Amino acid sequence: MDSLQIAVIGGGAAGMMAAGKAASLGASVTLFEKNDRMGKKLYITGKGRCNVTNACSVNDFLANVPTNPRFLYGAAARFTPADTMELFENLGVALKVERGNRVFPVSDHSSDIVNALVRYMKENGVVTRNEKVAAIRPAEDGYVVETSRGSYPFHRVIVATGGLSYPTTGSDGDGYRFAKELDIDVTPTRPSLVPLETNEAWCPLLQGLALKNVALTAIDTRSGKVVYRDFGEMLFTHFGLSGPVVLSLSAHLPDPTPGRYRLEIDLKPALDDATLDKRLLSDFAKYANRDFANALSDLLPSKMISVFVGLCGIPPHQKVHSITKVQREQILHLLKHLTVTVKRMRPISEAIITSGGISVKELSPKTMESKKHPGLYFAGEVIDLDAYTGGFNLQIAFSTAMAAASAAVEE
């Protein structure tokens, strides 16, 4: 091996970025990908549009990383969201910024991002092999990458195999296995950014209903403490709850024992109790002679009214003008504290991202290099790093990939 030989294992976002960067710095790079095409998971991100990053500052980016953000600071500062946008635009992908600073290709096609990364690799001479890696073995002058087709020697290896989410895209935990075989600690894995199953029988009755401006509070019933509070959009499903605010909440439930977490939904977060009471009185005056069940159309989505009336405990045919102050207080409380309990998380196969992975204590934060095995690097979802929705997880992939690739060549 005359020139610096680097293997990259995994052809996803982190793997392709790392391979392209290392090759651009002069290394001879071989990327191993077991799927028949690169970027299989990238194709389905952002509902097929690929939310490639978030147009925010480094500090705002790290504020959206609930797991080990301090470890990520150096890599994020050296390859920022702005750097990601510049790189893709230089690769010919026109980008746009949408609500919440989410960045997408103007075409709304994730294939543009995948093709750009493939082009980045090809332009820099990366060799790709459609082979599944079975093992990584330390050798006298680096490492040997073993596949079903043979053994290949390399000076450096970058592992970017992803996590366990969306296993149909090839994320089956290979990277964790490689690490354990090399005595590298792997923290327990669990789903993150995943929908939640709830105990309440009325939730499935609202299947398909999206609420765009609600506040969600999660309370640990053991301690009584609030573990998460956010504002945004949620969705009722046949099993419980989903949507952006619920997916972000799931990142804060490390022990989803059935019944441990109570969720309170504020259907009218823009109104305090007194203002909402005035609003109710106004509506009730307007519909004084109607049945209660027919007087909520200005306040709630039509699909929700029958469920809401049932939860109130007020007879649906009671005339509005006869509703008492106590009953009105019941309505107010339910509007501000619609309560469900978490039964369990949906399976990790349905999660957007995996929480857990290669322990950050095992890696150098500047280089992503293993402390036990010099010349072995990790990048992307395989590391114990995860963030909220909004392009932040792909930015983790790109920042860690750039750190690993640069260090693998420069060191």
What is the pLDDT, as a whole number, of residue 75?
A: 98
Confidence of residue 95 (pLDDT cuts 50, 70, 90): very high
Q: Which of 302, 318, 346 is the last residue of a domain?
A: 346
What is the pLDDT, as a whole number, of residue 189?
A: 92
Q: Which of 328, 346, 364 is the last residue of a domain?
A: 346
What integer is the mean pLDDT of 309-334? 96
| Average pLDDT value over all residues in the chain | 95
Q: Do 138 and 162 share a structural domain? A: yes
Q: Kindly compute the dihedral angle of the four CA atoms of residues 406, 409, 410, 411, in this order, to the nearest 10 degrees.
A: 110
- Output the six-digit token pair for 228: 């998460």
What integer is the mean pLDDT of 372-393? 96
What integer is the mean pLDDT of 219-227? 95
Confidence of residue 262 (pLDDT cuts 50, 70, 90): very high
Q: Do 202 and 131 share a structural domain? A: no
Residue 82 has pLDDT above 90, yes or no: yes
Residue 203: DSSP 8-state? G
Q: Do 85 and 176 share a structural domain? A: yes
Q: Which of 293, 327, 346 is the last residue of a domain?
A: 346
What is the pLDDT, as a whole number, of residue 254?
A: 78
Residue 68 has pLDDT above 70, yes or no: yes
pLDDT per residue as tens digits for the range 358-382: 999 999 999 999 999 999 999 999 9
Q: Rg of the chain over CA atoms, in angstroms?
A: 25
Give me the count of residues in the chain: 411
Q: Do 297 and 166 share a structural domain? A: no
In 3-state terms the chain splits into helix, strand, coil percentages (rounded to 5) of 40, 25, 35
Lowest-confidence pick of 25-39, 82-96, 163-177: 163-177
Residues ≥6 apart with Cβ < 8 Å to 257: none
Q: Do 16 and 151 share a structural domain? A: yes
Q: Do 303 and 187 share a structural domain? A: no
Q: Do 306 and 168 share a structural domain? A: no
Q: Do 83 and 34 share a structural domain? A: yes
- Output the six-digit token pair for 178: 């490689």
**CA dist., res. 331 & res. 346, Å (int):** 31
Higher pLDDT, 165 or 179: 179
Encoded amino acid at 232, one letter: G
Q: Do 158 and 84 share a structural domain? A: yes
CATH code of 140's domain: 3.50.50.60
For residue 133, give the 3-state DSSP assignment. strand
Confidence of residue 28 (pLDDT cuts 50, 70, 90): very high
Q: Do 324 and 200 share a structural domain? A: yes
Compute the half-sphere exposure of residue 97: CA atoms within 13 Å on the CB side of its CA: 8
For residue 158, give the 3-state DSSP assignment. strand
Q: Do 223 and 75 share a structural domain? A: no
Identify the residue whose tokens are 């690169």.
38
- Output the six-digit token pair for 352: 């957007």
- Output the six-digit token pair for 73: 């600071």
What is the pLDDT, as a whole number, of residue 239?
A: 96
CB atoms within 10 A of CB 188: 9
What is the pLDDT, as a whole number, of residue 317?
A: 96
What percentage of the chain has pLDDT greater than the value 70? 99
What integer is the mean pLDDT of 39-51? 91
**CA dist., res. 158 & res. 23, Å (int):** 13
How many Å separate Cα 18 from the centre of its chain? Answer: 21
Residue 1 has pLDDT above 60, yes or no: no
**Residue numbers of the domain that contains 98:** 5-191+353-410
Number of domains forming the structure of the chain? 2
What integer is the mean pLDDT of 181-191? 95
Positive or negative torsion for Cα 45, 46, 52, 55: negative
CB burial of residue 299 (10 Å; 0-12, 13-18, 19+): middle
pTM, rounded to two decimals: 0.87
CB atoms within 10 A of CB 78: 14
Residue 32: DSSP 8-state? E
Q: Do 283 and 183 share a structural domain? A: no
